[in-house]
Amino acid sequence: QATHFEGMPGSNCTQTTEFSLAGFTEDPATQVTLFLLFLLTYLVTILGNLGMITLIRASPLLHSPMYYFLGNLAFVNLCTSTIITPRMLAGVLLGKKGMAYAWCMAQVFTTDLFLITECFLLATMAYDRYVAVCHPLLYPLVMSPERCSRLVTGSYLLGLVNGVGQAIGMSRLFFCSSSTIHLFFCDISLLILHSTSDTTVSLVILRTASSVLGVPTILVVLLSYMAIISTILSISSAEGKRKAFATCASHLTTVSTFYGALIFMYLIPRSDSSRGVDKWAAVLYTVVTPMLNPFIYSLRNQEVKEAWKRLRKIK
């Protein structure tokens, strides 16, 4: 669907009212397999993250800064998955590739909001682990409930600023009726590439947001873990090193998966031959990571296991 747009630079282009999102495959059998796989992943994501949020709220054992941050991370993962996966399931099962322009812009806004929010939450959790390992005596003072609340609120607010900024940048762009996005959701970087109008403002907003909001979170994570590793290496006993590392292992796994996929997706130059790989990198941070996080933080975490056992006894 398209409507003619007057005054567009240089062309007889018609302004699109719907984008076409490329699917994973045209093979019916493979589509059914992918649908079942993604559906199972989404259901596990919902149950895992809701279960983590409920357990953290219900168990006094988990009323600490680390689990307060983890509960918010679970909420963000839940939102991220819900924004993207149901629409992807419809596309895989029904072959529905079209997405209305308004819905695409809404997806850009919400995806960028929760993407930056997650970056800041992961950075906050890295700082929390740094204080716990490197300055344990100061931990109750530094990570007070008031400060934790401000850190989480600030993460959401900065995510909101990013979402609004990207949406404003996107609202200035025009797209021809033939626009096809070679991904399963409306990714802002691909949308900018497909625009037929001047993308200078949108690119400035995107790069500024990446530099001002994204890069500092990566630096906080890197500096925190450099200090943590240095402290762990200075511990004399093997048991002390093991315990110190155990407090960070879950978060480090989450950070590695999340940022690894983002770096591969957005920092490595694209080519036509890499589009299929791009899709699976996007699946990793939008679909798989939100599913894995509750299990990463629970399977080897004795506090979560103990909280779960006590909750089951009460019931």
Average pLDDT, the chain: 82
pLDDT tens, position by position, 32-50: 888 899 999 999 999 999 9
Q: How far apart are CA 296 and CA 67, in angstroms?
A: 13
Q: What's the rounded mean pLDDT across residues 211-225?
A: 90
Q: Into how many domains does the chain fold?
A: 1
Q: What was the pLDDT predicted at 153?
A: 97
Q: Assess if residue 207 is contained within a domain.
A: yes
- Tell me: pLDDT of 115 over 60: yes
Q: Assess if residue 44 is contained within a domain.
A: yes
Domain that holds residue 155: 19-305
pLDDT tens, position by position, 65-80: 999 999 999 999 999 9
- Tell me: pLDDT of 29 over 50: yes
Q: How far apart are CA 31 and CA 67, in angstroms?
A: 38
What would the two tokens of residue 2 be? Answer: 């398209």
Q: Assess if residue 311 is contained within a domain.
A: no
Closest C-alpha among 154, 83, 146 to residue 123 = 154
Q: Assess if residue 152 is contained within a domain.
A: yes
Q: Assess if residue 68 is contained within a domain.
A: yes
15 sits in which H/E element? strand 14-16
Phi, psi values for residue 274, rounded to 5°: -95, 5
pTM of the model: 0.87
Q: Assess if residue 246 is contained within a domain.
A: yes
What would the two tokens of residue 17 be? Answer: 């009212």
**CATH number of residue 230's parent domain:** 1.20.1070.10
Higher local confidence (pLDDT), 262 or 214: 214
Q: What was the pLDDT predicted at 15?
A: 67
Q: Assess if residue 5 is contained within a domain.
A: no
Closest C-alpha among 253, 237, 205 to residue 109 = 205
Q: Assess if residue 12 is contained within a domain.
A: no
Phi, psi values for residue 107, rounded to 5°: -70, -40
State the pLDDT confidence band at 6, using cuts at 50, 70 and 90. Answer: very low
pLDDT tens, position by position, 123-172: 999 999 999 999 999 999 999 999 999 999 999 999 999 999 888 888 88
